């Protein structure tokens, strides 16, 4: 059920499934990622890396990720917003963008 947020390859060529959360990641988020990893493994016969990305993690999420051998990364949403604002100082309409 559902789809992983990002499907990618890492620098070593290994498949990576990334689940993104805008709020504190819970145990349920870790289990959701695990479900995607297991479905991928069953379908493709190989185990991808699974990474949960969020601004914070509940202790139960961290415990579950460790038990399931999944990775996690913190994202600082305030810093990300500041970077996005810097890069978009000159705004372009969609029509202008498509002309390029």
Helix (H) or strand (E) holding 49: strand 49-54
Are the CB atoms for 51 and 71 separated by under 8 Å? yes
At 99 the pLDDT is: 47
Which 3 state secondary structure label does DSSP give 93? Answer: coil
Q: pLDDT tens digits for 20-62?
A: 999 999 999 999 999 999 999 999 999 999 999 999 999 999 9
Alpha-carbon distance values, 24 to 3, 15, 66, 97 (Å)? 20, 25, 17, 35
């Amino acid at each position: 059920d559902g789809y992983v947020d990002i499907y990618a390859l890492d620098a070593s060529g290994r498949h990576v499934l990334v689940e993104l959360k805008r709020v504190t990641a819970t145990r349920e988020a870790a289990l959701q990622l695990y479900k995607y990893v297991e479905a991928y493994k069953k379908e493709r016969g190989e185990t991808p890396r699974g990474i949960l990305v969020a601004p914070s993690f509940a202790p139960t999420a961290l415990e579950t990720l460790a038990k399931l051998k999944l990775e996690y990364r913190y994202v600082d949403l305030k810093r990300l917003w500041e970077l996005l604002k810097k890069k978009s100082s000159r705004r372009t309409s969609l029509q202008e963008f498509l002309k390029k």
